[in-house]
């Protein structure tokens, strides 16, 4: 039996980053950049107006006020998208819209709200306010400078990143390939969810939770179905997963007479790296490398398989996808109940954590049996209790990991 941290280190050491692919920007949400992005141009590309108003020379507005307005001659109208030819001289103004190019000779923009037009006098405008040089002008390159490193490799693209790439004219981007993840349920008692339940059977929920967990990571699940606890069947199904980048199974890794997964994996030539991790839930877990592919035999109990996925499979998948940072949020929270545990195991407790009066408070969501999905469904977080603890009293601060 090895410790969680060591197990994770071994797994992450064995998984390789996948190659990258060139995909349309429109499909890149949540994908991980595989190259640094340097700006190919300035953004904005030209000095432009931040307001609807008048482009002026700031010196022409000196001392302008409500009681002492300055009158300027309007020489043209500039819409966004226009390429103005006019050049402003003293006591002249250009009507200008947000986003339009600042004409030559102008050095600031006065908001339309600070001006007045007089009916019948189309060619003049009155200014009520002084402006300073540069007021209401968005300078060329003020957001992004040409050549600047705007998004580093390893970033998971969000909507704002995608907006930047669009502004830079990058219709295609290089991102890491999404791993394909084979999912196999095992067990003589496990049946398809649309089959009728007969005595001793239970429906296959693990494939469904694991499938959705894989999707949530941004990877591509492949459902291998259910294998009975029979060597030939297990071997055949596992083989069907070898075209994927990572294989996960559930069940059959404990110490029962029919827990065959570990033996079959070994028989198939898997380099088994470890079996059993000092944690609860999730102790029975086997990890190895088969034909260069990582394979994780997760425990069969529904919550154990989910937690093992969260603790081991998810980081492995994210690493394969080039994600260089962990975005899960760990916080300190005050425990609202006593917790007694077995020394030597790291505990992951399904919990509800909330912010109240400046602190996080956390409590478990009910019975913690490894088959009880209801308390998992009610949890927004996991309390992580270190191996060495035996009893933690109400009021003590513990580490909590938010799930979503
Ligand atoms: P095992 O480690 O194979 O003995 O499985 C542990 C427990 O998990 C048993 O009670 C199984 O019935 C249950 N289990 C195994 N596989 C699944 C599955 N795919 N869906 C739901 N429960 C399962
Ligand atoms: Mg089983």
Does the CB atom of residue 209 touch ligand 1 within 6 A? no
pLDDT tens track for 296-319: 999 999 999 999 999 999 999 999
Which phi and psi (to 5°) does residue 287 adopt?
-130, 135
Give the ligand at the shortest distance from the Cα of 373. Answer: 1
3-state secondary structure at position 123 = coil
Separation of CA 250 and ligand 2 centre (Å): 8
For residue 167 and ligand 1, the question of a CB distance below 6 A is answered with no
How many Å apart are CA 402 and CA 328, to the nearest integer? 6
From the CA of 271, how far away is ligand 2's center (Å)? 22
Q: What is the mean pLDDT of residues 365-373?
A: 97
Q: Which residues contact 194 (CB under 8 A, 6 or more apart)?
A: none
Q: Is the CB of 297 under 6 A from ligand 1?
A: no
Query: How deeply is 146 buried, as exposed, middle or buried, from its count of CB atoms within 10 A (0-12, 13-18, 19+)?
Result: middle
CA distance 363 to 378: 11
Helix ranges (H only) for 67-168 are 159-167
Q: How far is the CA of 366 from the centre of ligand 1 (A)?
A: 21
- Could you tell me the CA-to-CA distances from 191 to 158, 202, 205 in Å, in that order? 39, 6, 9
Give the residue, by CA position, lying nearest to ligand 1 atom 6. 300
221 Cβ below 6 A of ligand 1: no
What average pLDDT does the chain have?
Answer: 97
Taking residues 95-108, report their average pLDDT.
Answer: 98
Q: What pLDDT score was predicted for residue 248? A: 98
Burial of 133 (0-12, 13-18, 19+ CB in 10 A): exposed
Pick the residue whose CA is nearest to atom 14 on ligand 1: 300
Q: Residue 12: how many CB atoms within 10 A of its CB? A: 15
On the question of pLDDT at 325 being above 70, the answer is no
Confidence of residue 326 (pLDDT cuts 50, 70, 90): low
Strand extents, DSSP E, 281-358: 286-290, 293-298, 330-335, 339-340, 346-356
Sign of torsion, CA 395 397 401 404?
positive
Integer Cα distance of 92 and 84 in angstroms:
15
Confidence of residue 328 (pLDDT cuts 50, 70, 90): confident
- Residue 204 near ligand 1, beta carbon < 6 Å: yes
């Amino acid at each position: 039996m090895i410790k969680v941290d060591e197990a994770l280190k071994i797994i992450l050491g064995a998984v390789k980053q996948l190659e990258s692919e060139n995909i349309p920007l429109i499909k890149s949400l949540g994908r991980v950049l595989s190259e640094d992005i340097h700006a190919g141009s300035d953004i904005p590309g030209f000095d432009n107006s931040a307001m609807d108003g008048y482009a002026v020379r700031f010196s022409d507005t000196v001392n302008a006020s409500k009681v002492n307005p300055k009158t300027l001659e309007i020489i043209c109208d500039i819409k966004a998208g226009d390429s103005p030819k006019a050049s402003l001289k003293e006591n002249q103004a250009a009507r200008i819209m947000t986003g339009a190019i600042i004409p030559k000779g102008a050095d600031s923009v006065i908001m339309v709200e600070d001006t007045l037009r007089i009916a019948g006098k189309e060619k003049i405008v009155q200014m009520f306010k002084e402006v300073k040089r540069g007021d209401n002008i968005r300078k060329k390159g003020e957001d992004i400078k040409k050549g600047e490193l705007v998004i580093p490799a390893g970033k998971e693209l969000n909507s704002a990143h995608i907006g930047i790439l669009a502004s830079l004219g990058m219709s295609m981007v290089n991102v890491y390939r999404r791993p394909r993840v084979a999912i196999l349920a095992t067990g003589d008692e496990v049946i398809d969810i649309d089959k009728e339940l007969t005595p001793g059977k239970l429906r296959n929920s693990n494939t469904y939770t694991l499938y959705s967990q894989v999707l949530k990571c941004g990877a591509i699940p492949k459902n291998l179905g259910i294998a009975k606890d029979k060597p030939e069947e297990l071997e055949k199904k596992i083989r069907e997963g070898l075209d994927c980048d990572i294989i996960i199974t559930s069940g059959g890794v404990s110490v029962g007479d029919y827990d065959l997964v570990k033996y079959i994996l070994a028989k198939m030539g898997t380099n088994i790296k470890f079996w059993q991790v000092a944690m609860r839930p999730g102790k029975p877990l086997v990890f190895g490398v088969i034909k260069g592919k990582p394979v994780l035999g997760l425990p069969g109990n529904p919550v154990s398989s989910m937690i093992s996925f969260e603790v081991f499979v998810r980081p492995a998948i994210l690493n394969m996808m080039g994600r260089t940072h962990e975005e899960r949020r760990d916080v300190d929270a005050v425990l609202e109940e006593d917790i007694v545990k077995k020394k030597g195991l790291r505990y992951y407790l399904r919990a509800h954590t909330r912010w109240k009066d400046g602190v996080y408070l956390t409590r478990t969501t009910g019975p913690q049996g490894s088959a009880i999905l209801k308390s998992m469904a009610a949890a927004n977080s996991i309390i992580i209790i270190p191996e060495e603890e035996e009893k933690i009293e109400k009021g003590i601060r513990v580490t909590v990991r938010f799930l979503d």
